[in-house]
Amino acid sequence: MKKPLLLFLLILLSFASPAQKFDKLALTPPMGWNSWNKFACDIDEKLIMGIADQLVETGLRDAGYIYINLDDCWHGQRDSQGFITADPVKFPSGIKALSDYIHSKGLKLGIYSDAGRTTCGGRPGSFGHEYQDALTYASWGIDYLKYDWCATENINPMSAYQLMRDALRAAGRPILFSMCEWGNSKPWTWAKETGHMWRTTGDIYNCFDCIDDHGNWKALGVMQILDLQEGLRQYAGPGHWNDPDMLEVGNGMPANQDRAHFTMWCMLAAPLILGNDIRSMSQETMSILMNKEVIAVNQDSLGIQGLKAEAKNGVEVWLKPLTGGDWAFCVLNRNKESVNYTVEWQRFNMDDKVSNRSTEFYKTTYNIRNLWTSKPEGTTAKSVNLTIPGQDVVIYRLSPKIKK
């Protein structure tokens, strides 16, 4: 499309009435890969194409990881008319050519911008250029936009995110809108009609249970972010998800911690956005990321976020209602040492107001399937004695067998 025509459309779009986000997107939590956790600003088109190849060759695409998302630092400068361009050294073929390659692999391409004057990495933000950028992304064939919150002094988050939502809608291409405002304005209370997902916390980093204090901001470990999801589950559902940030699986934590991290994100019905170098991941990492039965807990069509039913002495019990009357039942050991734990099913008779479902262990017997061993383990007719390794999990799928 010629630039003068784009400018004419831009003028028309600036008078458009407020729009709604695109529906029928993110009906289950989005799955994909993002460049930031592993590569930060060190990205180029060769890397992204190589990651796309590996998503296909490893089977990750077929497991559901379909978005490949450029994070910060892909940007070049704006041209004389204000349209954003790609960094000519990092992306000499341009984003449209990259998009065509990604789509040829059966994948979708995501891109990054910021509601402020610059991105967190100092590249041009979208402030004042929202409709231009939305038109550009649509012309490039973009499928997903992560929209950050740096350099936003004196900008209202609700208005800023609604403005970009309207711009995306007016541009006409269905683009999943991922809001990255870090939870400061409690977007879960207002953003259901604005974005398809919203960050609930600050940034994650590659640590299971710790905080990395940078002075004016803090990066959070897996357990710190998990704790900050308390009280948010009623706001999540098909097309609108709480986002506790990307996965650090495969970035250096031991397998037990990676397994616990991945499992809890699945119990949270969180977007599963990989952040590791999948070109060199171990078989152990791959087996975690590609466990179809655990992924199915995350991708369950009910779209109900898990509930923490018990927390005592570093051991937590979580339940998540699933389709067909099933439940996911997860025991998380936050302690560094292994623990013995007895599951007394009758203690977990509960009514879940979010899903309007009841466990009804008092009248329903469930078959038990261990999702990490992929083996049946009897029924809920009797208690189960567990030994859970340090900073690890046991997750069961419970399927109704008998109702009294």
**pLDDT digits 0-9 by tens, 233-283:** 999 999 999 999 999 999 999 999 999 999 999 999 999 999 999 999 999
Domain ranges of the chain: 3-298, 307-403
The pLDDT assigned to 307 comes to 97
pLDDT at 7: 52
d(CA 22, CA 194): 9
Position 347: which residue type?
R
Looking at the DSSP bridge assignments, the partners of residue 243 are 199
* DSSP type of residue 252: S
Mind telling me the catalytic residues?
148, 203
For 292-328, write each residue's pLDDT tens digit. 999 999 999 999 999 999 999 999 999 999 999 999 9
CATH architecture of 307-403: Sandwich (2.60)
pLDDT (0 to 100) of residue 217: 80
Query: Residues in the chain with pLDDT < 70?
Result: 1-18, 402-404
Fold assignment, 3-298: TIM Barrel (3.20.20)
Residue 198: phi, psi to the nearest 5?
-145, 135
- pLDDT of amino acid 5: 52
Q: CA of 393: how far to CAs of 15, 84, 300, 327, in Å?
A: 53, 45, 20, 16
**What are residue 317's DSSP bridge partners?**
310, 331
Contact between 109 and 48 (Cβ < 8 Å): no
pLDDT at 11: 47
Q: Are 204 and 222 in contact (CB under 8 A)?
A: yes
The helix (run of H) or strand (run of E) holding residue 16 is none
Q: How many CA atoms lie within 13 A of 348 on its CB side?
A: 28
Domains 3-298 and 307-403 share a fold: no
pTM of the predicted protein model: 0.94
Arithmetic mean of pLDDT over the chain: 95
Give percent of the chain above pLDDT 70. 95
pLDDT for 344: 97
Predicted local confidence at residue 213, as pLDDT: 84
pLDDT of residue 272: 98
Stated as kind and residue range, the H or E segment containing 21 is: none
Burial group, residue 228, by CB count within 10 angstroms (0-12, 13-18, 19+):
middle
